[in-house]
């Protein structure tokens, strides 16, 4: 069973300026049961994936169901630097109920297609990383199955577990790879921040078998930025469309304690921002999400604020990319 949760205006609060100085004053809440999505190419549409089920099936720590709303809460308090022609829409959340993750994924993918048809940039808020399978499928529904989609995943984990025990938060990219085989389509997947101490030999072998490009966390740092840039640009030039997914558990737990599987030696926010500049600068990013926000383990909202800052950066970068770098 799946539930569409219309956007809650009460979440969007903060300082009041009366002149849209803050994002809670800028955001427009759209209830998809009552109105259609009227947007344009300069706009952004926030969509939540409230789902614990994939993490639970993957034996992780429960809590990601409430991830989307804590990110919204922090984002609303941040300053608005968007022009008046740019819309920031909140179209609510897809909630996974009664363990029916597959139904939630199907619904999410339909809503991603809807956002892309409206020309806005989808910005998805999770929720377990099983969101990626749904997100990718929404992009695929929009582009058609013969258009290659490059996936760039900032993550400590490959999430390439086989589905022999069912689908979960550790299987989304394996599921995509399997679908690509069926469609006779290439699988373009780049993982940034992979931890050797958090992925077993089978996962590394699966990555090799599937031709996955990856950079380990010890290399994914500003000290090695030239090397990272080469790998990234090589990947970007192979595709016309890039789906970006940021799993918060790839950040060092010093920055992101509020996740199911924390990374003491993960990457830094600076590294992700510098990499995002290159991706956004390519003008190929079609959609983006932030996954694995788990408020139950957060400390003083550090992780929720980090997630909101990442989105704030993307809103700014998409609007003013030529002034940022």
Ligand X SMILES: N=CN[C@@H](CCC(=O)O)C(=O)O
Binding residues: 129, 155, 157, 159, 247, 249
DSSP state of 181: H
Nearer to Mn ion, 247 or 289 (CB): 247
Q: Which residue, 156, 108, 111, is CA-closest to 130?
A: 108
298 belongs to the binding site for Mn ion (CB under 5 A)? no
Q: Does 262 engage in binding with ligand X (CB under 6 A)?
A: no
Which residues in 128-187 contact ligand X (CB under 6 A)? 129, 157, 159, 161, 169-170
Considering beta carbons, is residue 58 or 217 the nearer one to ligand X? Answer: 58
DSSP, res 251: B
Q: Does 58 bind ligand X (CB under 6 A)?
A: yes
Q: Restricting to residues 237-266, which ones interact with Mn ion according to CB under 5 A? A: 247, 249
Per-residue H/E/C for 79-98:
ECCCCCCCCEEEEEEEEECC
| Footprint of Mn ion on 6-65 (CB under 5 A) | none
Helix, coil or strand: residue 293: coil
Q: Is 261 in the site for ligand X (CB under 6 A)?
A: yes
Closest approach of Cβ 126 to ligand X, in Å?
A: 10
Residue 304 backbone zone (phi > 0: left; psi -120 to 50: alpha; other: beta): alpha
- We find the least distance from the C-beta atom of residue 127 to ligand X, in angstroms, to be 11
Q: C-alpha 110: how far from its chain's center? A: 16
In whole angstroms, the minimum distance from the beta carbon of 190 to ligand X comes to 17
Buried b (16+ CB within 10 A) or exposed e, 45-64: bbbbbbbbbbbbbbebeebb
Name the token pair of 310.
Answer: 């990442």
Smallest separation, CB 101 to ligand X (Å): 13
Q: Which residues bind Mn ion (CB under 5 A)?
A: 129, 155-157, 159, 247, 249
Q: Which residues bind ligand X (CB under 6 A)?
A: 58, 60, 129, 157, 159, 161, 169-170, 261
């Amino acid at each position: 069973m799946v539930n569409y949760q219309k956007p809650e205006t009460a979440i969007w609060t903060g300082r009041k300026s009366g002149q849209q100085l803050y994002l809670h004053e800028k955001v427009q809440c759209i209830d998809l049961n009552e109105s259609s999505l009227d947007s344009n190419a300069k706009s952004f549409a926030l969509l939540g994936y409230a789902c614990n089920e994939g993490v639970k099936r993957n034996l992780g720590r429960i809590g990601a169901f409430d991830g989307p709303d804590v990110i919204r809460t922090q984002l609303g308090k941040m300053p608005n630097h968007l022009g008046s022609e740019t819309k920031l829409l909140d179209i609510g959340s897809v909630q996974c109920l009664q363990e029916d993750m597959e139904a939630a994924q199907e619904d999410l993918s339909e809503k991603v297609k809807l956002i892309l048809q409206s020309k806005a940039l989808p910005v998805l808020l999770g929720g377990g990383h099983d969101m990626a399978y749904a997100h990718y499928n929404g992009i695929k529904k929009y582009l058609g199955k013969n258009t290659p989609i490059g996936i760039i995943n900032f993550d400590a984990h490959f999430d390439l577990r086989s589905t022999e025990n069912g689908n979960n938060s550790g299987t989304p990219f394996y599921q995509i790879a399997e679908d690509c085989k069926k469609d006779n389509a290439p699988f373009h997947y780049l993982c940034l921040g992979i931890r050797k101490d958090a992925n077993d030999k089978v996962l590394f072998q699966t990555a090799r078998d599937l031709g996955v490009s990856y950079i380990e966390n010890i290399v994914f740092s500003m000290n090695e930025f030239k090397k990272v840039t080469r790998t990234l640009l090589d990947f970007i030039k192979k595709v016309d469309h890039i789906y970006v997914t940021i799993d918060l558990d790839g950040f060092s737990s010093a920055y992101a304690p509020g996740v199911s599987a924390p990374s003491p030696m993960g990457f830094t926010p600076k590294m992700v921002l510098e990499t995002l500049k290159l991706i956004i600068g390519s003008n190929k990013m079609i959609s983006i999400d932030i996954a694995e926000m788990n408020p139950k383990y957060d400390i003083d909202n550090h992780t929720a604020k980090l997630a909101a800052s990442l989105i704030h950066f993307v809103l700014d970068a998409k609007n003013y990319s030529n002034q940022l770098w």
